[in-house]
Structure 1
């Protein structure tokens, strides 16, 4: 080989990480830089961009053991610019250190290059869980059905000669006064208990029960009924 400072020997193409690579060997240094040195580069041949590292090693021709000379990276290799080469220095080893060394035998020099390509991290798509819409609050509807279905009554009220039934626990839940009346220390929570209500119309008592069970007034109530309900509530 002549002494053109741009002349080089390129290795055969080899593949690492599904990408093609080669080694360039400049026996007289790269473009005159690093006098008295040889230059060795790993080159990315594919049109791509990736992250990799490399370890340039010289092999002892007697033992077969390799010794690291230059380690690079991890770094970005881009095929379109100088970053496709590594290392980014023309200084590999002095020619005087090669001549007569264990690395050079019968004009044979073996360079080993360990290339590691770092694949992009695999990001698992975030699993989206179906949105669960909270159902509207319907406890009031369920309590109201207890009154509509007329089942499970355990307390009766005699109002204006009419027997009106209800659920003791609902009345106690909605009114501290009724709770004391129905479950007070002097009262037994006995099934079929009957309480007489004086001076109240059955329709007004039923409207009051409707409010206790549904938290709403019966539809179509007139002003007089509302007044009577307020009187009943006050009692």
Structure 2
């Protein structure tokens, strides 16, 4: 006899390794007058933001309106600066852009991006900066500002500080069983419980539920159930012409379960052909495609001409192509011609 411990289900757990990161944004508001061509170049022209904290570290945005060195004179230089001493490099991803305030309809304010550079990643050591010595030409930015009638603009820094990785325990997920709705609806159809309409097809009667069929096909709702509701007898019997009983039974099964019933190999071809016609008639495109696909796989000499005519009539391009490929084989074509002559 197995022990109690041997019958226990194995325990399951999960964990995940995630990046420990913190996002932040700082905007440095700048007076447009700083773009004056007479602004000093190099260290003397440095304008810096107030310090801000992201990821537990202190940062500043550094702005040089006329370049941070002789080589970049006439350009705007912008950097992100780590304003503290650190024992280990601090890894950060950041994106620098120049934005302005604009107004949309009803005086709603929004920020419009004038210039930007792609996001970059850098490992910052103590009191170092990283950015662009030539972010944009001074005169280009000045022209944009004048064109929009701005008296100021903002330098925006979007930053993500990466503090390594950490392990997190994940809550165990329940094993969700697959849906069995189709089974219950199939049982409902087979039992006839609560049926409120009966279809008479080729001398056979099929009980069904108006609400299910109306939900599956607006054409059935309008042509069949609408007729039953308007002038049919009280019993709710609807006569259906032009569909074989076997095909109509398969159509109902599909409407309730989204699948076709098992079919005898000897009858499959005939049922599928009639079912394709019914699917096209009652606006069930997925069912029509299923029939088309299965007919493509069971083409034979005896039925290929009938199926080809059916494909033409009901606009089944894939089925038509399969028939033509079947007939393109010399042996198949000879067999069809021979059968036609008998």
TM-score normalised by length of structure 2: 0.32
Compare CA radii of gyration and give the structure with the larger one. 1
Higher helix proportion (structure 1 or 2): 2
